[in-house]
Amino acid sequence: MNLKISGHHLEVTPALREYVITKLDRVLRHFDQVIDGNVVLSVDNHKEKEKRQKVEINLHLKGKDIFVESCDSDLYAAIDLMIDKLDRQVIRHKDRLQGHQHEAIKYQPVAIPVEVPPQ
């Protein structure tokens, strides 16, 4: 998987980079057909203190692109929230790919009419 981690108004330290990579391993454990990902860590000057740290990820899977973002007052907490959301979406996508909710037409039971002899 190709992963690009960048910062907006923020320097991406090796500790932040390692934290994001270890958290993304949890997502890759559920679904291994990830092509590439783009993570953006940013700090904005919001009036609301609990939404200053923002994390976004755009994950390119086989057959679908998933975009998730989360905001929090702590950057590590925002990363955790983002990974939780991403994990739910990836599992949902995997279930849709592997789902067998509908039986195939060739396996549906066919009612055979039985003729009753007259009495």
Average pLDDT over residues 70-93: 92
CATH number at residue 42: 3.30.160.100
Within-domain flag for 38: yes
Total number of domains constituting the chain:
1
Within-domain flag for 110: no
Within-domain flag for 117: no
Q: Does residue 41 contact residue 7 with C-beta atoms inside 8 Å?
A: yes
Of residues 37, 38, 39, 44, the one with CA closest to residue 10? 44
Within-domain flag for 82: yes
pLDDT digits (tens, 9 = 90+) for 32-64: 788 899 999 999 876 766 678 999 999 998 888
Within-domain flag for 101: no
Of residues 87, 60, 52, 81, the one with CA closest to residue 69? 81
What predicted TM-score, i.e. pTM, was given to this entire model?
A: 0.77
Within-domain flag for 92: yes
Residue 63's region, left for phi above 0, alpha for psi from -120 to 50, else beta, is left
First to last CA, the chain: 74
Domain that holds residue 48: 2-96
Within-domain flag for 33: yes
Within-domain flag for 51: yes
pLDDT digits (tens, 9 = 90+) for 87-100: 999 989 888 888 76
Residue 9's region, left for phi above 0, alpha for psi from -120 to 50, else beta, is left
